[in-house]
Amino acid sequence: MARQRAQRAKAAEAPRETFKSMSPSEFFYHYKEIAGFDNPTKALYQAVRELVENALDATDVHGIFPDIFVSIEAVDREESFYRITVEDNGIGIPPNNVPSAFGRVFFSSKYKLRQARGRFGLGAKAVIIYAQATTGRPIEVYTAPIGSRRVYYFKLKIDIQRNEPLVLARGEFENPSGWHGTRVSITIKGDWSRARHRIYTYFQRTAIAAPYANIVFVDPDGNVVVYRRTLNKLPPKPREVKPHPHGVDAEMLKQLISRSNAKTMLEFMVETFQGVGKKTAEAFLEYAGIPKDLDPHRLSERDIVRLVSKMREFRKFRPPSADALSPLGPEVIETGLRSILKPEFVVAVTRRPKVYEGHPFIVEVGIAYGGEIPPQEEPMLLRYANKIPLLYDERADVAWKVLHSFDWKTYMVTFPAPIAVLTHIASTKVPYKAAGKESVAEAPEIEQELRNALREAARKLREYLLKKKREEEAKRRIVTFMKYTPEVAKSLAVILKSYGVKESDIREMLLTAMKKRLGLPEEEFAKLVEGLEVSVEE
């Protein structure tokens, strides 16, 4: 006690801090909101989402039509423990990588310049950490790479303080059917009744962006929902690309140089960057005032910073390749919107690739209008990034900002209106605001492209609305005209009888005159007249 008192007095005299280190697992264990696991409701949704997105990344990215099975079972209703199972028909995971892929935060196959849903190397691990915190149960994994004669089984946890996998059991089975893919099961605390709506919305939105997938979902109440494949075409496969000179910073350039075997700057430029041929490299090095036969390993820190700055300035590099990207395409978007929202009109726009901070990106916008969409005070916004739907934090998203500063009136839309807008940002790097991937930050280039895409789509909507309005007006005019046609024809017939003109001919003439007046093509006119009931007395 005396010692304690003395210590306390000393501490009061000169307060010092004790320092501690945390593993990345521990960090996300303590700050689970950052990974999107705020509470049992959000966690159930986030867990489903992370596992489904891994499943999709194992399939369409590699040219496989996804067949995804998802179930949530209530294993302990009193404690609100739910077992989530997700199975895909993807490329599987090599067995030697399984422990780290599930047991080590910041370990991933997706740290590449190639578009994927996941990017952080965090999702599945965050689910496991949350499971350990709430139910204490391990994850179970069955996996078989393509062509594997065996199916591999693992039961594992994460040693959170060490950020290392703890394999509790493993096994191997024959694979006579040649199955490939991954099946994971994990039990977490959740709140199904609150998460229900969000999870169903998630599946619906996922189905809109992946009409080429079959998704089966069995919920804890035993309901089975099937999102059936409605499109037999996959989006283009994204390819891994080299970095673009405009996307490089001082730190990356230093790393690239230290990893390179190039003997000269010319060689280095050509080998390291995408779209840089010998000529471009020479032109650039001259512009930057760097001798082309300089050994890149001899650049000083200051040279490197200058080089980066020159690289950003130089305007003659080819624009970043879009090979790494996989946009949805208008067909996918229109099919998706049509089959889920059942609108009367739908249009989609895929913009050409652009660049922010050296990262290529493509913006896509779809608009669905009328039909079964209920009129609302603001447009229904369906946000996507790299094909995944974003449901939370809408108001913090750049797309929300663009939609809400958009001049809808110019495009003949006045609210309340039955309108839904889909936005999709495809990029090798989506600037998410948080690791939970719910909203996209305001990169000026992305904002501008969203605005351009929205305008382009809205112009087509306006054309449609204009045509619709014109048709309605024409219809009104025809109805008015038609009302009098029989009488006019009759009167004229009486006068022209002596000339042998038939009443039916007169009516025909009148219609032709009207058609000319309305200036509509034959086909459209026929469509308009078709529905009209005009009783003409013969």
Site for its own copies in 242-281 (CB under 8 A): 249-252, 254-255
d(CA 152, CA 149): 10
Q: Which stretch binds its own copies (CB under 8 A): 97-105, 219-227, 265-273, 324-332?
A: 97-105
Least distance between its own copies and beta carbon 438 (Å): 8
Helix (H, G, I), strand (E, B) or coil at 505: helix
Identified binder of its own copies from the candidate list 69, 106, 200, 314, rule CB under 8 A: 106
Q: Which residues of 352-379 are buried (b: 16+ CB within 10 A; e: fewer)?
A: ebbbbebbbbbbbbbbbbbeebeeeeeb
Q: Which stretch binds its own copies (CB under 8 A): 106-114, 197-205, 381-389, 408-416?
A: 106-114
Q: Residue 501: CB partners within 8 Å, gap ≥ 6?
A: 492, 493
Q: Is 15 in the site for its own copies (CB under 8 A)?
A: yes
Nearer to its own copies, 249 or 282 (CB): 249
Binding mask 191-220 for its own copies (x = CB under 8 A): ------------------------------
Identified binder of its own copies from the candidate list 295, 393, 456, 471, rule CB under 8 A: 393
Strand pairing report for 354-356 and 359-369: antiparallel
Identified binder of its own copies from the candidate list 46, 54, 115, 134, rule CB under 8 A: 134
First to last CA, the chain: 117
User: Which residues ranging from 424 to 443 are in contact with its own copies (CB under 8 A)?
Assistant: 429, 431-436, 439, 441-443
User: Which residues ranging from 290 to 309 are in contact with its own copies (CB under 8 A)?
Assistant: 301-302, 304-305, 309
Q: Which stretch binds its own copies (CB under 8 A): 27-35, 196-204, 377-385, 511-519?
A: 27-35
Q: Is 9 in the site for its own copies (CB under 8 A)?
A: no
3-state secondary structure 127-141: HHHHHHHHCCCCEEE
Helix intervals (H) in 345-412:
398-404
Q: Is 17 in the site for its own copies (CB under 8 A)?
A: yes
Q: Is 471 in the site for its own copies (CB under 8 A)?
A: no
Q: Is 350 in the site for its own copies (CB under 8 A)?
A: no
d(CA 261, CA 301): 19
Least distance between its own copies and beta carbon 268 (Å): 18
Nearer to its own copies, 174 or 301 (CB): 301
Least distance between its own copies and beta carbon 281 (Å): 22
Least distance between its own copies and beta carbon 340 (Å): 27
Q: Is 523 in the site for its own copies (CB under 8 A)?
A: no
d(CA 374, CA 504): 45
Rg (C-alpha) for the chain, rounded Å, is: 31
Q: Is 120 in the site for its own copies (CB under 8 A)?
A: yes
Size of the residue set binding its own copies (CB under 8 A): 78
Q: Is 23 in the site for its own copies (CB under 8 A)?
A: yes
- What values do phi and psi take at 182, rounded to 5? -140, 140
Tokens of 396: 């913090």
Helix intervals (H) in 229-291:
250-259, 265-272, 278-288
Binding mask 34-73 for its own copies (x = CB under 8 A): x---xx----------------------xx----------
Q: Is 145 in the site for its own copies (CB under 8 A)?
A: yes
Helix (H, G, I), strand (E, B) or coil at 526: helix
Nearer to its own copies, 239 or 475 (CB): 239
d(CA 433, CA 313): 28
Q: Residue 430: CB partners within 8 Å, gap ≥ 6?
A: 119, 361, 385, 386, 437, 440
Least distance between its own copies and beta carbon 201 (Å): 18
Q: Which stretch binds its own copies (CB under 8 A): 15-23, 201-209, 316-324, 470-478?
A: 15-23
Q: Is 528 in the site for its own copies (CB under 8 A)?
A: no
Q: How far is CA 266 from CA 255, 270, 296, 305, in A?
A: 17, 6, 9, 18
Q: Is 152 in the site for its own copies (CB under 8 A)?
A: no
Least distance between its own copies and beta carbon 111 (Å): 5
With left for phi above 0 and alpha for psi between -120 and 50, is residue 2 left, alpha or beta? alpha
**Cα of 136 vs its chain's centroid, Å:** 33
Q: Which stretch binds its own copies (CB under 8 A): 200-208, 336-344, 390-398, 516-524?
A: 390-398
State the DSSP H helix or E strand holding residue 317, giving kind and residue range, or none if neither: none
Q: How far is CA 74 from CA 42, 81, 336, in A?
A: 17, 6, 31
Q: Is 360 in the site for its own copies (CB under 8 A)?
A: no
Q: Is 511 in the site for its own copies (CB under 8 A)?
A: no
